[in-house]
Structures are given as structure tokens and as C-alpha cells.
Amino acid sequence: MSATTNPDPEPGAPAFIPLEANPELMTKLIHTLGVSPALQLHDVYSLTDPDMLAFIPRPALSLLLVFPVSTVYESHRMAEDNTLDEYRGAGEPEPVIWWKQTIRNACGMMGLLHAVSNGPARKFIEQGTTLDELVRKSIPLPPRERASLLEKTPAVAAAHKEAASVGDTAAPDAQDDVDLHYVCFVKGGDGALWELDGRRKGPIRRGELQDNEDMLSERALSLGILKFLEREGRDLRFSAVALAASLG
């Protein structure tokens, strides 16, 4: 599975090869960028079957949804964004760190960055790594400058290119239009559920969570992915990937 293009990239904007939604590949990528081997990505085969969910270590620190970009989704996204102000947050007080997507076909990378840089997952970023430096430099910056910093971090582009080139399916070209997209759900520093998507006007707060609730808890799922799927309808190309402790 690969990910969609940024809808309206700036003329001359950089482009990435779309990233396959492959947990093994994605795990190698986050480890290359600087996440501790203590974490990995896991396929989520069911969002409602307790027996299937039991295979995933808990807590689930973040959850990535990969889905087809439909007319229903685009209509809802635009309608909701019309009610929101452009996000201008910056600095340590932010409950989440969010990057605006300005790189074509980079939504897989954006999803992973949001997954590993927020909530408890941030503690697993190893000091002195590419990701550690990117997060530290990004936190004080407003969104436009953050996006520019990401574009000018060649180690991120190189790691992404290596990962995207070795998936199970033939990699599309960086300039191709691909109709699958990534959205990330995380627990923010304020304890709430946040939806993070670089295509939106900013991070979206979806509701309160209790201290003991993670991204696969009943409430988090009902506020996030299940509500999303209820609106969109079922499609065989929906898939979910959770960030949690490594197995073995």
C-alpha cells in the first residue's frame, strides 16, 4: 500500500516516493531516524475483536490509519477545515507537535513523524539522532518554518527514499498521483486524543481520554478511527498500524 500526494503542492515542491504501509519497513525507517529499537509498528487486524487486539502490546502509543481518499472524505475534510483557523502554534506548551505537509507524496513520512514525536513515544527518540535534532529544532518554530526545516533535512529524505524503494510492491514514482492517505492519532501532552494530518489546517483535538486509555482503548477508537470509518463506509483498502513495544 502506498500513500496519496499532497493535494496542492507548491510549484517546485520536493516529492517523495510514496511509502508502503508495511509495518516491518516502517519500523526500520523509524529506527534509522532515531527511535529506540524498544518500539515497533504492528498491524492492527481488527479494531473491535478483543482476541485480535490482544496480539498488540499495550499501551499503543499512536495509531496510523491508511485509507482511500474518497469524495466523502474530501467533502468532510474541506467542510471541517472551513470552520478552523490556520494553526500557528509553536513552543513547549503545545500539547502536540504538528508538521504541515509541503512535500508531495510524503503523507506516510508525516504520519510516522507525528506518531513517534508525540505523547510517550517521544521519550524513545535517542539523543543525537536525526529525529532528535529535527524535533528539538522544530518545537520553537511556527508551522511554515517547521515545514521548511523538514524539507531541508536531507537525512530524512535519504532514509525515506531507502525505505520506500524496498517495499513488497513496486514503488510508484515520486510525482505519481496515489489515492491512499495516512492519518495519525496520538495522545497529546494534555491527555486528549489528537488527529494529526499534514494536509489539514492544523492538529485536531478529538476529545478527552483517561490516564489509563491508550490509542486502542474503546474510547480512543470511538472518538477517532471508528468514527472515521463510520462516516466513510467500509473499504478493503483501509488498514491500521499501531506503535507499541517491540516483540521479542
The 3 state secondary structure assigned to 124-161 is HECCCCHHHHHHHHHCCCCHHHHHHHHHCCHHHHHHHH
Q: Report, as an integer, the average pLDDT of 73-100.
A: 93
Give Cα 228 distance to the centre of its chain: 15
Determine if the peptide bond prior to 172 is cis (ω within 30°).
no
pLDDT at 177 over 80: no
Q: How far apart are CA 110 and CA 144, in angstroms?
A: 15
- Is pTM beyond 0.85? Reply is yes
Give me the domain span that covers residue 236. 23-245
The tens digit of pLDDT for each residue in 39-51 reads 999 999 999 999 9
Q: Looking at 31, 114, 181, 184, which residue is catalytic?
A: 181
Q: For residue 200, what pLDDT is reported?
A: 95
pLDDT at 1 over 90: no
Q: Report, as an integer, the average pLDDT of 150-172.
A: 80
Q: For position 93, which CATH number holds?
A: 3.40.532.10
CB 229 within 8 A of CB 238: yes
Q: Looking at 107, 114, 160, 184, which residue is catalytic?
A: 107
pLDDT at 169 over 70: no
> Is residue 184 among the annotated active site residues?
no
Task: Tell me, yes or no, whether 238 lies in a domain.
Answer: yes
Task: Tell me, yes or no, whether 12 lies in a domain.
Answer: no
Give Cα 149 distance to the centre of its chain: 18
Q: For residue 180, what pLDDT is reported?
A: 80
pLDDT at 147 over 80: yes
At CA 223, angle to CA 221 and CA 227, rounded to 5? Answer: 85
Q: For residue 7, what pLDDT is reported?
A: 46
Task: Tell me, yes or no, whether 86 lies in a domain.
Answer: yes
Q: For residue 170, what pLDDT is reported?
A: 46
Task: Tell me, yes or no, whether 109 lies in a domain.
Answer: yes
The tens digit of pLDDT for each residue in 187-241 reads 999 999 999 999 999 999 999 999 999 999 999 999 999 888 887 766 557 889 9
Q: For residue 235, what pLDDT is reported?
A: 59
Task: Tell me, yes or no, whether 3 lies in a domain.
Answer: no
Q: How far apart are CA 120 and CA 65, in angstroms?
A: 19
Task: Tell me, yes or no, whether 18 lies in a domain.
Answer: no
The tens digit of pLDDT for each residue in 7-54 reads 445 556 788 888 888 999 999 999 999 999 999 999 999 999 999 999
Task: Tell me, yes or no, whether 6 lies in a domain.
Answer: no
> Is residue 107 among the annotated active site residues?
yes
Decide the pairing of beta strands 180-187 and 62-68. Answer: antiparallel
The total domain count for the chain is: 1
**What's the chain's average pLDDT?**
88
Task: Tell me, yes or no, whether 8 lies in a domain.
Answer: no
